[in-house]
Chains A and B, each alone.
Chain A
């Protein structure tokens, strides 16, 4: 994607994003340990991350914060798209491959051909997709079947009829005749693929879903379009749009809060992955290990919150660390925090 254009979007989105984290009042899991740099070692070297443009901000912020602890480490982040991650990992150009979608089998094959083992996906943060409508839209909630019938022409979740007007979703007055105007993320992006396989049951999007190059673009379009509805990361919520509560069973509707995402009540939560080349017979490179320890620390996860995504729980962090052979000690709790429930939403692999 064009750099200029991204910058332009980022500039446009910046004021919208500011104050987001405070508005949602989310906190990282108190059991995550705070980051202790390995004593007596000053690391030198390079860390490169090549991959998805959606996770580029997160990687950059992690890199900057990590540099404060280890000024000798040079960190470079390149975000030219998820498909650049596997070749860079294979050629050894990068240590981290942030990807907004799961690696495709052809990409895994190429990796296995070179190394003999599979690339390792590491869960670094959570993303909840929200279904946004204009702030003036009075709709109270949607079932997943309705979401499917709004966005998909295949209606794999089995709703009876195609939904094309707001009246079909129960809105009255001038809304009833209004055509639902659809917005979504650009095709081939991770968000696009995830929404398709979970919310649309792997069915097809309608041809009339207007694809926006970034999540901020989706939100912006909906704030300008009274009849708009669209999906993107919850982190992009602004005052001019509203996230619609969703329901799986049609009885209970859940908001896209961290608590509901982590408990699995909210149906559209997913993990974001960074792929790494982990030789099963060898320990991680010390600089890489130190960086990952930082990612799984309280400080690292606070950065996640800052960049518009949801932090992972201590339980998930512990699992990922043990997979990577990294030490992980839970912080001692003073009192039990309200939202610290073990994650149970299914990871996408």
Chain B
């Protein structure tokens, strides 16, 4: 084999390998993105081999936050703590100080599991704070040496003195003196009364002590209310049979007002709030579950209780509803099965069978175990994997009613300050934002780039053509971060003051071009011949520059004279079209600098690749240059031009920095170009660095990355296919 052949073969291999490498890299990236997003598909599941112990089930119980020990409370007020490690009783205390013969009538754990709400048979109502002390045995601190015991257990009383009446149902909410938050409690009695207590913190500087000023208001129903659930700021739901009443304190706590009443599908037997106390799950005697919340109405200022989705699956023999302490997820405990439901979208996720003789169950605070106490005194912690229940097709793409908002909407607002915040992770506004940004970037770019390319390739002559193309290509080299920076910091405020210029410029420049054409046609032929056809266009440059500068310079003055204020503010006031300073037009202009050169270069190549012989033949047959361009040059160049536009589209879809800096990242679903938008790419750039690794937001962001990847991949592949097909046809 001679050397040339060898070199040939090596080169072919290297190129082939390089190509293969690129393909592999693309697949690897896709694989990685999908791998990170895939766990979102997982369903809640139960594991096996969790710790267990033997202890009397008592009334209710739970685990401390490390799931090292389990506590339970007995009707007589005894509180026990058992270690999961060896099943031994660590401690038994009596923090409530119940009187002789007094036992607990009602108990309920707060949703964050840090406190126990209770009512006794002597009518006393309070909240027991559950606190645990963690210590470490021996020399080192690790999982094995960790020990738990009860910390300071204090009781916050709503009613401390014994009284005759015992509540049927009770709910309460901790106050916070430092944050100036009131404490609330609500109880329903057998005579049909529902009582709301409000505890207002009063700080006494002299004694350095906080006292709580307690006031009560009540409402009388004909029949006793079976369930009560407290929401924020003293609002609560009370259920009487199948009637659900939304009640709230009147102004200045002067009384109770019925805010609205609705009918549930059956007699309500269980009602529990979800974390954040912005919505509640109600269950009927038939086991039908539904989600309820207080919704502000659009027409008047009222706030009414409304029932949202009924859950698809029902729970026969519904006993209790257990909300998670971390997210809007709950377990509905039935006679012989447990249903996992999701709050925001109202989806039932999974059903577990746990056998019979269950005394009570609870979710461990870290959601890692399902605690099951049975009447035969066995107690197990079953490993629980909830997966990512807050991310479902419905929360990602559905129009949902969120807590506290008047209408169902597509919303992206993924994080709040705490776990109590209801994440809103609809990808719809982001996808619309990407499309909107792309449209407004391409709208001015495509005609400019394609027409410019046609002119440059077929009309310009000689040196100017050779210099113009690299010059435009140079524009493509401007880093997009700089374009975004200029767009956001300079262009946006400048445009607000001279929005009119945006409308005037095209008109003025078009008029100027026509005028110059008219002038050119009037010129004597001799003159025209001396000025070459291709170079005549340079006469337009100074005209454009002068007129353009003039329009931009004069625009604010014209606006002030015509509208008495800036055009943008005038149009806002007159047509009620919202105007945002950092809007899609600004992005379109800035992105135009990135996209136009790209389309221009590729389209110019396409136009130039059409054989000159075709054009010559056409011109020789008497066609005008325009007819030649339109009918002879354009058809064979079309696939190339389409490919150029597609590549520009791909660039605009994936563009990040310009969008990030020149818009406000407002996740709206409006097409108005004078408002901003939030694109998938910019959203990834802002949120990924702050998203906790491996949690649902992190994975949702990866899912949006998969979408973005797929979108650009498809567009670019299509562009390539069109180009290759077109080349074959030529």
Contact = CB atoms under 8 A, between A and B. Distances in A.
Contacts of B139: 281
Most buried by A among B144, B417, B484, B676: B417
Contacts of B414: 187-188
Contacts of A160: 301
Contacts of B368: 109
A53 B492 contact: no
Interface stretch (A25-33, A209-217, A255-263, A290-298): A209-217
Interface in A275-291: 279-282
Given A225-B581, A279-B140, A213 B695 contact: no
Nearest to B417: A197
Contacts of B135: 280
Given A178-B569, A225-B493, A213 B664 contact: no
B142 A115 contact: yes
B328 to A, nearest CB: 14
Interface stretch (A1-9, A41-49, A124-132, A312-320): A1-9
B146 to A, nearest CB: 5
B518 to A, nearest CB: 42
A86 B692 contact: yes
Contacts of B582: 210, 221
B481 to A, nearest CB: 5
A224 interface: yes
Interface stretch (B154-162, B621-629, B665-673): B665-673
Interface in A186-230: 186-189, 192-194, 196-198, 202-205, 207-213, 220-221, 224-225, 228
A106 B692 contact: yes
B301 A202 contact: no
Given A5-B661, A156-B232, A202-B276, A188 B686 contact: yes
B413 interface: yes
A245 to B, nearest CB: 19
A348 B144 CA distance: 30
Nearest to B573: A177
A139 interface: no
Interface in B479-509: 479, 481-482, 484-485, 488-489, 492-493, 496
B136 A280 contact: yes
Nearest to B326: A105
Contact of B146 (A5, A117, A186, A210): A117
A344 B178 CA distance: 8
Interface string A79-112: 0111110110000000000000110111101101
A209 B663 CA distance: 11
B180 to A, nearest CB: 8
Contact of B690 (A12, A188, A211): A188
A36 interface: no
Interface in B679-701: 685-695, 697-698
Given A179-B578, A208-B578, A197 B418 contact: yes
Contact of B233 (A83, A158, A248): A158
Nearest to A161: B301
Interface in B87-146: 134-136, 139-146
Contacts of B633: none
Nearest to B424: A204
A153 interface: yes
B580 interface: yes
Nearest to B134: A117
A273 interface: no
A181 B581 contact: yes
A245 B146 CA distance: 48
A208 B669 CA distance: 11
Most buried by B among A87, A109, A192, A193: A109
Chain B contact-residue range equals 35 or more
Contact of A197 (B416, B689, B698): B416
A256 B234 CA distance: 31
A247 to B, nearest CB: 13
A209 B666 contact: yes
Contacts of B482: 8
Contacts of A153: 405
Instruction: Say whether chain B's binding surface is mostly helix, strand, loop, or mixed.
Output: loop
Most buried by A among B139, B481, B690, B695: B690
B141 A213 contact: no
Interface in B570-601: 572-573, 578-582
A187 B697 CA distance: 12
B418 A187 contact: no
A116 B141 contact: yes
Nearest to B581: A225
A15 B11 CA distance: 55
A246 to B, nearest CB: 14
B66 interface: yes
Most buried by B among A113, A154, A220: A154
Contacts, number: 194
Given A153-B405, A179-B578, A213-B661, A104 B676 contact: no
Contact of A117 (B136, B572, B666, B692): B136
A68 interface: no
Nearest to B670: A207
B689 A1 contact: yes
Contacts of A187: 413-415, 665, 686-687
Contacts of A231: none
Given A83-B690, A281-B136, A5 B179 contact: no
Nearest to A348: B417
B664 A209 contact: yes
Contacts of A22: none
Nearest to B143: A116
Most buried by A among B135, B144, B657, B695: B695
Contacts of B581: 181, 210, 221, 224-225, 228
A239 B404 CA distance: 38
A211 B415 contact: no
Nearest to A206: B666
Given A81-B690, A156-B232, A105 B366 contact: yes
Contact of A193 (B296, B417, B479, B580): B417
B419 interface: yes
Contacts of B685: 1-2
Nearest to A220: B489
A200 B710 CA distance: 37
A5 B143 CA distance: 43
B675 interface: yes
Nearest to A156: B404
A236 interface: no
A213 B664 CA distance: 9
Interface in A155-196: 155-156, 158, 160-161, 174, 177-179, 181, 183, 186-189, 192-194, 196
Nearest to B176: A346
Nearest to B141: A281
Contacts of A186: 665, 686-687
Given A106-B692, A153-B405, 4 more contacts: A8-B482, A107-B692, A112-B66, A178-B569
22 contacts: A4-B481, A5-B481, A8-B482, A53-B689, A81-B688, A81-B689, A83-B693, A101-B690, A107-B692, A186-B686, A188-B689, A188-B697, A197-B417, A204-B413, A207-B411, A207-B667, A212-B664, A213-B660, A225-B581, A282-B140, A346-B178, A346-B179
* Nearest 8 pairs of A and B residues by beta carbon: A210-B664, A81-B689, A197-B417, A188-B690, A224-B493, A211-B665, A193-B417, A116-B142
Interface of A: 1-2, 4-5, 8, 12, 53, 80-84, 86-87, 101-102, 104-107, 109-110, 112-113, 115-117, 153-156, 158, 160-161, 174, 177-179, 181, 183, 186-189, 192-194, 196-198, 202-205, 207-213, 220-221, 224-225, 228, 248, 279-282, 344, 346, 348
Interface of B: 66, 134-136, 139-146, 178-180, 232-233, 276, 296, 301, 326, 366, 368, 402, 404-405, 411, 413-421, 424, 429, 479, 481-482, 484-485, 488-489, 492-493, 496, 565, 569, 572-573, 578-582, 657, 660-661, 663-668, 675-676, 685-695, 697-698
